[in-house]
Structure 1
Amino acid sequence: MTKEILLAEPRGFCAGVDRAIEIVERALTKFGAPIYVRHEIVHNTYVVNDLKQKGAIFIEDLDDVPAGATLVFSAHGVSRATHNEAEARGFQIFDATCPLVTKVHVEVAKLHKEGYEFIMIGHKGHPEVEGTMGQLDSGIHLVEDVGDVARVNPSQTEKLAVVTQTTLSVDDAAEIAAAVKARFPMVREPKQQDICYATQNRQDAVKLMSPQVDVVIVVGSPTSSNSNRLREVARKLGTASYMVDSAEELQAEWFDGSLRVGLTAGASAPEILVKAVIDRLKALGAVSVRKMDGIEETVKFPLPKGLRLDNNPQ
C-alpha cells in the first residue's frame, strides 16, 4: 500500500558522532591496529562492527588494555576516575567525548568550585550520565522523571544547579526542569540548554513529519538514547512508530494500509542504513521518496592534537 517515503531532515550523523568515528579511524591509520576504545564509540551496531573489522577493540574495563596501548574514550565521556586511571597507566589517550558533553563537564567542575550541588536530569546507567556524575565524588543528584524531583535531598539549596543529559527528549526534560524549578526556585539553569542541537533538530523534524505520515521508522540501535527518543516523539503525537537497527528488521505488516511512511535516523546511525531501509520499503511497494525541508547543520568539531592531517599543533 505504501506509495511514498518522507525523509526527515536533518537525520543521522551529527558533528560529535562524525568526530568520534574519525578519531578512531585516524588513530588506526596513524598507529595501526589494535586501537582500544572504552565503551562503544557511539551507540550503533553497524558502526561498532565496522570499526572492529578495521582493528578497533572495544572494552569496558581498563584492565583489558595492554601497557603502552592507544586508548580512545567514547563520545559519551568518562568519569574523572577513569580518565585519571588511564593517564596513570601511561596509555596514549585520545578523547572522543562530544564537545557538547565536555561543555557540561566543564560547567560542573566550575560551579562545584563555587560550592554548587547539582541535579542531573538523565537516564540511570547511561554512559554519558555516569561520565558527568563521575566528574565529582559527590553532590550530583540524578532525576529520571518528575516523581524523582520530590525525592531529591540536597545538603543545601542556596547553591543548586541543574544539568541535563544531552540526548533526552526536549519536552520531557523541560517538564522535569520545570518541576525542579518549582521545588527549588533559586536553582541555577544553564545559559544554553544542555540538550544538544542535533537531538533538538531531529526531534523537531519528527514533530513536523509525524502528522503527515501513517508510520514512522527510526533507524537506530536499541542502546541509542537519542534514537529511542525519536520513536517516543512520534508515538506521543499519535503516529505508529518503530525503531530498527537494520533494514532486515522491517516487518511488512507495519505498513498495512499506510500510504506514506516517514523515515528518520538517530544521530549515531549512518546514512548507508537509511538507504538500505529505503530499498527495502521500495521492495514492499513504495514508489517515491521525498525529502522534507529542514535545518541544514554546518557544525564541525576539531580533532584532537596528534590526529589532524595538517599536523598543526594549534
Structure 2
Amino acid sequence: GGGAALDVAKAIALMATHPGTLFEYEDGRPGARPIDKQVPYWVALPTTAGTGSEVGRSAVISDEETHVKKIVFSPRLLARAVFADPELTLALPAKVTAATGMDALTHCIEAYLAKDYHPICDGIALEGLRLAARALPRCIEAPADIRARSDMMMASMMGAIAFQKGLGLVHSCAHALSTVADLHHGLANGVMIDRALRFNLESSAEKFERMAQVVGLEDESGEGFLGWLGELKARIGIPADLKAAGVDRAALDRLSSLAFQDSCHLNNPRPVREDDFRRIYTEAFAS
C-alpha cells in the first residue's frame, strides 16, 4: 500500500515480538522500551510514489486521542525485501498521484537543504528532485506513462533514503496541518512547500540556485525556484494556499504551536521560532 499501510505493517511486525503498547516505543520518549528483538519477515509493495516508507526505518503513527503523529524508529523495522513495481501505481487517481508525489518532492528538497553534513544524501536528493520534476506532471497528464511512473517511484525511494540526513520546516508545518485539519500529509507538504521554503532563501541561496539548475530553469535564482514550485502546484492540482485547501484560519494559533513543537524543523538550515511559523501560516492563508 501507500506509506500509511506500510507503516502499519511495521507497527504490527514490532508488536508481534515485543511487549507493551506501541507508543511505549516512541522515538525520543523518556524511558522508551528498546526495540531489541527480531521482527517477522515482511515484504513491502509500495502502491504510491510518495513517502518512500518501503526503504525507511520508521513507522509514523497518529495518536487516536491527540491526532499527533508519533515516530517509532529502528533499523529492525526495515522491510526484508521491496518490490517496487510502477505498474502498481498506474491506476492511482490524479489527486493521490499529485499529493503523494509532492511528498516525495518535498523529501528530496528538504533533505538537500537540511543543515547536517551528508554529501551522499545530498547527491541522492538532487537526483530524486531531477526525476520528480520531470515525471510528476507527466504522471498527472499521461497516467499510463510507465516511464514517468517508474521515475516517480524511484524519486520516492531516493527522497526517503536522503532524508536520513534530516528534513525541515515544511514538514513541521505539514505535520501540524495533518493534526489540526486532518490534511493528507503529502497534500499538506504541497500546499506549504513554496510558502515555507521562502523562509530559507536568505540562509541557503546557493542551494536554491543549484536546485533551480537541476530542474532546468532559465531563472536559476531562489525566487525562480519558488516560482517554479508554484507553477508545478497549479499544473498538478495542488491548492495554492491554506484557504484554497479548506483550512480554518481560526486554527492559526494551534498550528503555530504544534509546528514549533515538531522536531523536523530542528534540522532546518535556518532556526525557526514559533512566531516565524505563525507568520508563515498567516501568509499561507492569503490568496
Q: TM-score, normalised by structure 2?
A: 0.29
Q: Which structure is higher in strand share?
A: 1
Which has more helix, going by share of residues? 2
Q: Which has the higher contact order (CA 8 A, sep 6+)?
A: 1
Structure whose alpha-carbon radius of gyration is higher? 1
Query: What TM-score do you get using the length of structure 1 for normalisation?
Result: 0.28
